[in-house]
């Protein structure tokens, strides 16, 4: 009598019998899950000239678009949508207290599919990058009344393997288990997100007359809302911090002598050699003299604003005025950046440069020209090289020849 054993080196009739029963259970008790099949990186017409970014003349899910960062940013998905019966465990909103703080654990799905049914319909195993559309999780009543229909729920497969509960008495697997997380509105899923939703409730483009009302990206992505938040933050930032550097115009400046004692605000002392008996600098209507320095406030970074201390009046001009008096300020507009001078009785002393600019660096200053330099450099071997480049372009390896 032969030895009794459910295991066989090959898949026997016992395996096929159990497989049909398990498949029937999934057909009866499972849910239709729509599969957006990942085909691979998009085809590139011309070589990129970069060894880490190979060009492909065909799509293959095994290809890698960026060998340096190991990313597939420009993905291609099949236009046809497959439907498989799957089973997953519904979850309540729960908190994970195993770590510091509270973490929600309701955004990951573990879905099982019948293995042979998956191979017959899709042609391969579900893998990372495939997108699952769960029909029973649609948002039928979105808070935004402008959305014309229920918003579908998409999940992206992050991992896949045989399910431990899918091994039968024959020791062969019958189920395929995937781990999926919610899909976000990023570049990888443009093929899915750019499909139209029209007012009739179709998700397969407009009606041929250009009547599509929006794309899935418009309704699912948080990009528009994040843009509004960012614009509001920038607007308030301009109000609270309109210019770079330090604002020292609100401080009162007192001039000190070499010993650290405050000097008379008139600017004249007993040992002052400028004022003599026949001097015409001091008249009956002469007022206080402006301080000749900002003191310690000049040590600030980018604090030059072209405004004299203590609110002292200033004359904007393109040349020095004739017959100046001690303490007069002139803002030379023909200097780049504008330069503030003070007359000390003999010479015009430079006080500061107007280097405070807005945070967008769009002013006519050397600082803005340095960062927003749109000039190009001509080379004999690499052509025209822009002076302003992003870090991603600078770090991108180039061929020596």
pLDDT in tens, 76-107: 999 999 999 999 988 776 666 666 655 655 68
pTM above 0.85, yes or no: no
* pLDDT value, residue 206: 47
Length, in residues, of the chain: 401
* Highest mean predicted confidence (pLDDT) among 223-237, 251-265, 278-292, 300-314: 223-237
Half-sphere exposure of 269 (CA within 13 A, CB side): 10
The CA distance from 28 to 85, in Å, is 9
239 confidence band (pLDDT: 50, 70, 90): confident
* pLDDT value, residue 53: 86
Q: 156: part of which helix (H) or strand (E)? A: strand 151-162
The CA distance from 217 to 186, in Å, is 9
How many H helices and E strands in the chain?
A: 7, 14
* Highest mean predicted confidence (pLDDT) among 116-130, 196-210, 264-278, 297-311: 116-130
The CA distance from 373 to 360, in Å, is 14
pLDDT in tens, 188-229: 998 888 876 755 545 544 444 444 457 787 777 777 788 899
User: What ranges do the domains of the chain cover?
Assistant: 13-193
Q: 138: part of which helix (H) or strand (E)? A: strand 131-139
Secondary structure (3-state) at 124: coil
Q: What residue spans of 30-148 are helical by DSSP H?
A: 115-122
Q: Which of 153, 123, 127, 119 is nearest to 40 (CA)?
A: 127
* pLDDT value, residue 142: 82
Mean pLDDT, rounded, of the chain: 80
Secondary structure (3-state) at 203: coil
The CA distance from 345 to 285, in Å, is 18
134 confidence band (pLDDT: 50, 70, 90): very high
Secondary structure (3-state) at 240: helix
Task: Tell me the sheet residues that pair with 352.
Answer: 340
Q: What is the DSSP letter of 72?
A: -
């Amino acid at each position: 009598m032969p030895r009794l054993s459910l295991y066989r080196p090959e898949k026997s009739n016992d395996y096929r019998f159990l497989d049909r029963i398990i498949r029937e259970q999934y057909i009866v008790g499972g849910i239709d899950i729509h599969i957006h099949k990942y085909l691979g990186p998009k085809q590139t017409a011309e070589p990129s000239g970069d060894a880490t970014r190979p060009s492909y003349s065909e799509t293959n899910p095994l290809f890698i678009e960026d060998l340096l960062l190991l990313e597939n940013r420009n993905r291609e998905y099949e236009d046809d949508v497959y439907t498989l019966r799957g089973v997953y465990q519904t979850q309540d909103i729960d908190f994970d207290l195993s770590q510091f703080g509270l973490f929600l654990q309701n955004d990951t799905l573990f879905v099982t599919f019948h293995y042979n049914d998956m191979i017959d319909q899709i042609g391969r195993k579900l893998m990372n990058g495939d997108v699952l559309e769960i029909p029973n999780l649609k948002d039928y009543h979105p808070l935004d009344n402008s959305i014309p229909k229920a918003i579908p729920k998409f999940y992206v497969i992050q991992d896949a393997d045989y399910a431990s509960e899918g091994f039968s008495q024959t020791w062969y697997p019958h189920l395929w288990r995937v781990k999926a997380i919610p899909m976000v509105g990023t570049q990888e899923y443009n093929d899915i997100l750019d499909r139209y939703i029209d007012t009739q409730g179709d998700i397969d483009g407009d009606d041929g007359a250009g009547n599509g009302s929006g794309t899935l990206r418009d309704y699912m992505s948080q990009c528009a809302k994040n843009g509004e938040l960012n614009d509001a933050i920038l607007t308030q930032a301009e109000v609270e911090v309109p210019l770079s550097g330090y604002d020292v115009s609100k401080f009162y400046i007192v001039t000190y002598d070499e010993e650290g004692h405050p000097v008379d605000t008139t600017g004249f002392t007993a040992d002052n050699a400028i004022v003599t008996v026949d001097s015409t600098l001091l008249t009956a209507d002469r007022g206080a003299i402006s301080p000749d320095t900002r003191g310690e406030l000049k040590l600030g970074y980018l604090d030059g604003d072209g405004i004299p201390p203590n609110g002292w009046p200033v004359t904007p001009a393109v040349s020095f005025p004739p017959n100046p008096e001690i303490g007069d300020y002139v803002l030379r507009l023909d200097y780049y950046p504008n330069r503030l001078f003070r007359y000390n009785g003999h010479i015009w002393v430079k006080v500061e440069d107007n280097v405070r600019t807005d945070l967008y660096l769009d002013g006519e200053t050397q600082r803005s020209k340095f960062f927003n330099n749109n000039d190009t450099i001509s080379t004999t071997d690499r052509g025209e090289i822009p002076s302003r480049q992003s870090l991603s372009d600078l770090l991108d390896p180039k061929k020596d020849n």
